[in-house]
Amino acid sequence: MSLKAATNFSTEANVHTGHRNRSQSNDLAVRARKLADEAIGIDSHIDTVQRILVMGEDLGKRWDVGHVDIPRLHAGGTHAPFFALWVPVYFPGAEAVRRTLDLRDAMQTLFETRKDEIELATTADDIERIVKEGKIAAFITVEGGHTIDDDLRVLRMYYQLGIRSMTLTHSRNNNWADSATDTPVHNGLTDFGREVVREMNRLGMVVDVSHVADKTFYDALEVTTKPVMLTHSSMRAISDVPRNVTDEMLWALAKNGGVVGITFGEGFINPKDAEALRSAIEIETTAPVMAGRTLDDYAAQDVRKLFGTRVKVAATVEDVADHIDHAVKVAGIDHVGIGSDFDGVSGPPNGLDDVSKMPALIEVLLERGYSDRDLKKILGGNTLRVIREVTGR
């Protein structure tokens, strides 16, 4: 969609209808529920694997902690989430590889114990088939390029394990790419970083440019021959934090054919929450030098702290819709998706307390004038297209 067309669409979509009567509210709720059931339902970033590995939780049960489990995925219409194998940046070298394998093993346990409810998906065809069978399609991504320990052979082994996406950096620079939340040292991607992008293209892995420095983002777009994703990022024009993206980045993403997954986390959505997020980024420190079980125990404390704390936020479901509106206006309807970061944040927006509440967001977007067709694009159709273009089927 051209920028002019996208702007016109957004103007129409942002017409608020004022106070709804009870009949109108019921009609919108019914339409939202129907769309949640019918859409492919892709969320391009959740961190739920930590709960399996650290807490030993069975995601086949409905929990009153965290944001995601299989019953709540069905309730919210999220049929095909990206399960992120997130490895904190204080896992060095081979320890980061080991942690990635531990997380992948935790996912395998889920696949084997709940094989009638969830299945690994490595292509767009897989996602469509698994969702049609009434199961959750799990698309696995690695969060943080430090997890390959500067070795393309490790990247290729991740591919053999069914991993089909990788975020180039996390919260700190690695040896070949600058992060959005660190002091630049590479001026974007190094020569090896460019090799990583080329190899991901060759293998058929989604290049994820959330978390990367702006220069890293543009370097990746210069190198890639396939669409990329910002799997969990929101709009810097609304909430000015470095992990969010500028309008210029959105234009470049649209030209590349990629998709931005609007993220819900504290600070990314509402500027009233942003200062606390910026402060947290500034004070983040590296862990003491550790390895093996000692390092795992240290990381487990972090995970339990995340899931044991619910942060009060100003952000609301309406704020999330504002970010979607802005992304549609700038990049076009074909380049916007959902990337909640559920189970990776301690303060989701009010009204979107967990993944089961996704119909509330759909209802707000319906009220703003989005068509069913365009909502199905946002709710997974656009991301499915990128997966198909990257994996080949």
Output the DSSP codes for 144-165.
Answer: -GGGGTT-HHHHHHHHHTTEEE
Tokens 């990746």 sit on residue = 220
According to the model, what pLDDT value does residue 377 have?
98
Q: How confident is the model at residue 8 (pLDDT cuts 50, 70, 90)?
A: very low
Q: How confident is the model at residue 37 (pLDDT cuts 50, 70, 90)?
A: very high
Q: How confident is the model at residue 6 (pLDDT cuts 50, 70, 90)?
A: very low
Q: How confident is the model at residue 58 (pLDDT cuts 50, 70, 90)?
A: very high
Tokens 């390895």 sit on residue = 291
Report the percent of the chain where pLDDT is more than 70. Answer: 90
Average pLDDT value for residue range 66-85: 97
Closest CA to 110 of 47, 164, 67, 57: 57
Q: Is the pLDDT of residue 291 over 90?
A: no
Query: Which residue ranges form the domains of the chain, and what is each CATH number?
Result: 3-391 (3.20.20.140)
Q: How confident is the model at residue 222 (pLDDT cuts 50, 70, 90)?
A: very high
pTM score of the predicted model: 0.92
Average pLDDT value for residue range 284-306: 81
Closest CA to 65 of 269, 306, 267: 306
pLDDT tens digits, one per residue of 95-124:
999 999 999 999 999 999 999 999 999 999
Distance separating alpha carbons of residues 65 and 229, to the nearest angstrom = 29
Distance separating alpha carbons of residues 233 and 261, to the nearest angstrom = 6
According to the model, what pLDDT value does residue 4 have?
30
Q: Among 19-28, 194-203, 282-291, where is mean pLDDT lowest? A: 282-291
According to the model, what pLDDT value does residue 347 have?
86
The crossing angle, in degrees rounded to 10, of helices 247-256 and 317-331 is 60
347, 313 Cβ separation under 8 angstroms: yes
Task: Show the tokens assigned to 263.
Answer: 């993220």
According to the model, what pLDDT value does residue 340 have?
98
Q: How many CB atoms lie within 10 A of CB 355?
A: 27
Mean pLDDT, the chain, integer: 91
According to the model, what pLDDT value does residue 274 have?
83
Q: How confident is the model at residue 285 (pLDDT cuts 50, 70, 90)?
A: low
Average pLDDT value for residue range 50-54: 95
Reported in sequence order, the residue ranges of the chain that DSSP labels E, i.e. its strands, are 42-46, 80-86, 118-120, 136-143, 163-167, 206-208, 229-230, 259-262, 336-338
**DSSP 3-state of 42:** strand
57, 48 Cβ separation under 8 angstroms: no
Q: Among 25-29, 206-210, 259-263, 312-316, where is mean pLDDT lowest? A: 25-29
Distance separating alpha carbons of residues 44 and 245, to the nearest angstrom = 16
More reliable by pLDDT, 268 or 1: 268
pLDDT tens digits, one per residue of 339-348:
999 999 888 9
